[in-house]
Amino acid sequence: MAPFIRLNALTKRFGDVLAVDDLTLDIEKGELFCLLGASGCGKSTLLRMLAGFEQPSAGRIEIDGQNMAGVAPADRPVNIMFQNYALFPHMNVAGNIGYGLRRAGMRGQSLNGRIEALLKLVRLQGYEDRKPNQLSGGQRQRVALARALARQPKLLLLDEPLAALDKKLREDTQFELVDIQETLGTTFMVVTHDQEEAMTLAGRIGIMDKGRLVQVASPRHLYERPANIFVADFLGMISFVEGLITKAGKGSIEIDSVPPITAAIDTQNRKQSKLAVGDKVTLAIRPEKISLSATATGKINEIPVVVEDLAYLGVASNYRVKAANGQMFKLQQQQSRRTTQPLTWEEAGFIQFDPSDVIILEG
Amino acid sequence: MPQRHSILAKLAGSTGRRLVVLGPLLWLAVFFMLPLLETLQVSFSVAQRSIPPYAPLWGFDEGGFFTNFTLDNYGLLARYWQDYIGPAFNSIRLAFFSTLVCLLFAYPMAWWIARSTPKWRVFLLVMVMLPFWTSSLLRIYALIGLLNPNGFINGMLMWLGVIEAPIRMMQTDFSIYMGMVLTYLPLMILPLYAVMVRLDDDLIEAATDLGASGVQIFWTVIFPLTLPGVIAGCLLVFIPAVGEFVIPALLGGPDQLMMGKVLWTEFFRNRDWPVAAAIAMLLLAILTVPIIYARYQDGRVDDKHEKETGAR
């Protein structure tokens, strides 16, 4: 069976600029997909092409088996929740939510019933007579969601859905969004530059850079098995060590840094299995996988370091430490795991990490 | 209206700010309120041969306090209302249709300017305002030069052989409206532009996305949100247009008497200042009541539109 939404070799050119470059992507029905990328990576252009506001320069968009070429925005089974919500300021909540329904010819009792049901879905009953400027940011966001869902789109596009909310509200709202998505089973496509937003919302994330999809995978997979340096660096903190392979085989490699670092090979990964002595690789280690202690333990991958920088976060502390050869490592220490007095600025110690926690990336 | 609140908030703000506002307020009080009160006072006075040509409304002499207060001037207007209703009607009709034509021309122009790139916007706005920087009298004489029987347009058309005899354009409704629209168009364009340039493009896209057609977007989103500009522009054009004296005098025929001309006659020809003042005050009252009503409606315009869109 063909996937529900299929983007095939989609390209958009603005003059000489390639905003979206030969992008191919399948999205399943009922999926909460997230397109993640820095501003200017082409994700907004992609969103506008899906909504019908921009025409692709090449390639095609299919939704539920229907080719979208030449279909006007109003006739697409797609609705957008705009980044700033774009609520009509001169209409009340009911007027906003019912706008699309009225355009579809719905009137009277059935219209009111539908608006009532949508208000219930986003938990805004009793607010139908309020104007957008009489609502809080979170309430406006929910009105925008209800309005976009009113016409029962096959695909709902959400442009930075949480960006306008303050941090506390975002946490509640993101779970609520996921709840609503699961209740309705509508396919959601979230576009965002905020990795935290993407990680918490999405079942699958596509990372975009310069108009291309760099990697499409689940949040966990992206974080723990990034496909390349861009993805590894884009999602969360990470430390990179470059080097040439000095030993290879038996499920692990060793590189020529000082002291040498051993990394376990993912035997499922064909590329990694083929790595040989002399190949250039970049190793990456997540900060929470590195432990820091004042005394040596004699374990594998233990490196003497000096604390360069330290940030106290409450639950944890972020460290930046420097090895003898000038190599920097970022690491995070949970407060509860520390038994002795924690190291502070300029103090010497040892970091250690497990070979299986080292991510091997291409040269 | 948010602007009104912010002005009030500033007035109630720090002393420094209050002082800044005080200057213009004083200026308005001296040069706007005082003449208005003076006019009101004259309208209750009696005409006499003197300088100024009216008796003081009140004062003190040997007999103590005296007053010349009279309602005769208004009584005169009431008695001979048929003489005044015609010019009043002519003036209001002229102002009304001038405002309407200005609105119909200005709305698409303002929209076009507001949707241009910022660089073009400045240029186009300057082009709109450019005529304002020349004397309006000069512009009207230029228009006469164009519209005269032996003027540029007739000369051109006859030379091209389109017509054999000159078309009569001067001293018609056409010439008056040409003059009115040319003079007042910028006053309509600017407030419309001001609201249109602030209109969020996302709202139009949102309406498109929700299935609205172009016509529906205009009537449900664009028009209601630009209505404050429409009201402001109409007031800015209508109010001075009612009292317009120069344009009908220069471009219009002798058959249509306008209120401005009547005022002029009472004031300068008859030297009856009290009656002229009474006419002015009455005209002011007639104009102010609908405007205050319009301003009052302005604040509630949103609610009204919601009901309208709800019924649609």
CATH code of residue B268: 1.10.3720.10
Q: Using CA of residue A255, residue A257, residue A260, residue A263, what is the dihedral sign?
A: negative
Confidence at residue A93, expressed as pLDDT on a 0 to 100 scale: 96
- Lowest average pLDDT, out of A119-133, A263-277, A335-349, B171-185, goes to A335-349
Distance (Å) from the C-alpha of residue B203 to the closest C-alpha of chain A?
Answer: 5
Q: Which residue of B has its CA nearest to A78?
A: B209
**Beta carbons of A88 and B305 less than 8 Å apart:** no
Q: Give chain B's contact residues with A (Cβ, < 8 Å).
A: 200, 202-203, 205-213, 216, 220-221, 224-225, 301-302, 305-306, 309-310, 312
**How many other CB atoms sit within 10 Å of the CB of residue A16?**
5
Q: ∠ CA(B148), CA(B153), CA(B159), 5° rounding?
A: 115
Task: Write out the two tokens for B33.
Answer: 């309120």
Measured distance CA(A44)–CA(A36) in Å, rounded: 10
Task: Point out the residue among A90, A92, A99 whose CB comes nearest to the CB of B210.
Answer: A99
pLDDT at A135: 94
- Which CATH fold would you assign to the domain A237-355? OB fold (Dihydrolipoamide Acetyltransferase, E2P) (2.40.50)
Query: Do A79 and B209 make contact, defined as CB atoms within 8 angstroms?
Result: yes
Interface test with B, best of A68, A88, A133 (most B CBs within 10 A): A88
The angle, 0 to 180 degrees and rounded to 10, between the axes of the packed helices A167-184 and A108-121 is 130
Listed range (A268-272, A320-324, B194-198) with the worst mean pLDDT: A268-272
Q: Which residues of B touch A71 (CB under 8 A)?
A: none
Would B290 be classed as within a structural domain? yes
- B12 located within any domain: no
- Which stretch of A112-116, A265-269, A307-311, A353-357 has the lowest confidence by average pLDDT? A265-269
Please tell me the distance in Å from B5's CA to the nearest CA on chain A: 15
Share of chain A above pLDDT 70, in %: 98
State the residue range of the domain holding B221. Answer: 76-311
Task: Please give the pLDDT value at position A336.
Answer: 66
Burial label for B112, CB within 10 Å (0-12, 13-18, 19+), is: middle
Residues 6+ apart with CB under 8 A from B54: B42, B45, B46, B47, B48, B273, B274
Residue B301 confidence (pLDDT): 52
Assess whether pLDDT exceeds 80 at residue A268: no
For residue B312, what pLDDT is reported? 35
Q: Would you state the pLDDT for residue A204?
A: 95
Interface of A with B (CB under 8 A): 51, 53, 73-75, 78-80, 82, 84, 86, 88-92, 95, 99-100, 102-104, 131, 147-148, 150-151
> Would you say residue A197 has pLDDT above 60?
yes
Mean pLDDT of A302-307: 91
Q: What is the ipTM of this complex?
A: 0.84
Helix, strand and coil percent figures for chain A, each rounded to 5: 30, 35, 35
How far apart, in Å, are the Cα atoms of A180 and each of A31, A136, A174, A186? 12, 20, 10, 9
Per the CB < 8 A criterion, the answer to whether A216 and A225 are in contact is: no
Give the span between the Cα atoms of B273 and B34, in whole angstroms: 17
B43 contacts B280 by C-beta, under 8 angstroms: yes
Cα angle, residue B18 at apex, residues B14 and B23 outer, rounded to 5°: 160
Q: Considering only CA atoms, which of A129, A344, A6 is closest in space to residue B310? A: A129
Other C-beta atoms within 10 Å of B303: how many? 13
For B211, which of A53, A89, A100 is closest by C-beta distance?
A100
What is the pLDDT, as a whole number, of residue B47? 86
Kindly report the nearest CA distance between residue A252 and chain B, in angstroms.
54
pLDDT at residue number B300: 59
Residue B20, in any domain of the structure: no
Residue A279 has pLDDT above 80, yes or no: yes
> What is the architecture of the domain spanning A5-232?
3-Layer(aba) Sandwich (3.40)
Angle B70-B76-B80 (CA atoms, 0-180°, nearest 5)? 170
Per-residue pLDDT of chain B (312 residues), as tens digits, is 445 555 555 555 566 777 788 888 899 888 889 999 999 999 999 888 888 888 888 888 888 888 888 889 999 989 988 888 888 888 989 999 999 999 999 999 999 999 999 999 999 999 998 888 888 889 999 999 999 888 888 889 998 988 888 888 888 888 999 999 999 999 999 999 999 999 999 999 999 999 999 999 999 999 999 999 999 999 899 988 988 888 988 888 777 788 888 888 888 888 889 999 999 898 888 888 877 887 777 665 544 444 444 433
Both structure tokens of B241: 């247009």
- Its pTM stands at 0.80
Q: DSSP code of B32?
A: I
pLDDT in the model for residue B308: 41
Q: What span, in angstroms and rounded, lies between the C-alpha atoms of B209 and A29?
A: 21
Please, which contacts does A67-76 make with residues 24 or more away whose CB atoms are closer than 8 Å? Answer: A73/B205, A73/B208, A73/B209, A74/A103, A74/B208, A74/B209, A74/B210, A74/B211, A74/B212, A74/B213, A75/B211, A76/A51, A76/A52
Question: Per-residue pLDDT tens for A11-57?
Answer: 999 999 999 999 999 999 999 999 999 988 999 999 999 999 999 99
Task: Quote the CA–CA distance of B228 and B234 in Å, as a whole number.
Answer: 10
User: A247 - beta bridge partners?
Assistant: A254
User: Are A82 and B305 a contacting pair at CB < 8 A?
Assistant: no
Using only C-alpha atoms, what is the Rg of chain A? 25
Say if the Cβ atoms of B225 and A151 lie within 8 Å. Answer: no
Q: Where are the domains of chain A?
A: 5-232, 237-355
CA B3 to chain centre: 22
Instruction: Return the pLDDT at B310.
Output: 41
Of the listed ranges A115-119, A273-277, A303-307, the least confidently predicted one is A273-277
Cβ–Cβ gap B220/A99 under 8 Å: yes
Number of structural domains (chain B) is 1
Measured between alpha carbons, how far is A142 from A163 in angstroms, rounded to an integer?
13
Between CA A58 and CA A64 the distance in angstroms is 20
> pLDDT at position A337, please?
56
Do A53 and B205 make contact, defined as CB atoms within 8 angstroms? yes
A103: chain B residues, CB-CB within 8 Å: 210-213, 216
Q: What is the pLDDT of residue B306?
A: 44
- The pLDDT assigned to B10 comes to 52
Scanning every residue of chain A, which has its alpha carbon at the shortest distance from the alpha carbon of B210? A100
CB contact under 8 A, A74 and B209: yes
Contact A103 B212 (CB under 8 A): yes
Q: Which amino acid is residue A337, in one-letter code? A: R
Amino acid A333: pLDDT: 85
**Section A323-338 average pLDDT:** 82
User: How far apart are the CA of B302 and the nearest CA of chain A, in angstroms?
Assistant: 5
Structural domain contains residue B52? no
Nearest of B96, B67, B117 to residue B242 by alpha carbon: B96
- Whether residue B43 is contained in a domain is answered as no
User: Hey, are the CB atoms on A74 and B208 less than 8 Å from each other?
Assistant: yes
Helices (H) and strands (E) in chain A, counts: 9, 20
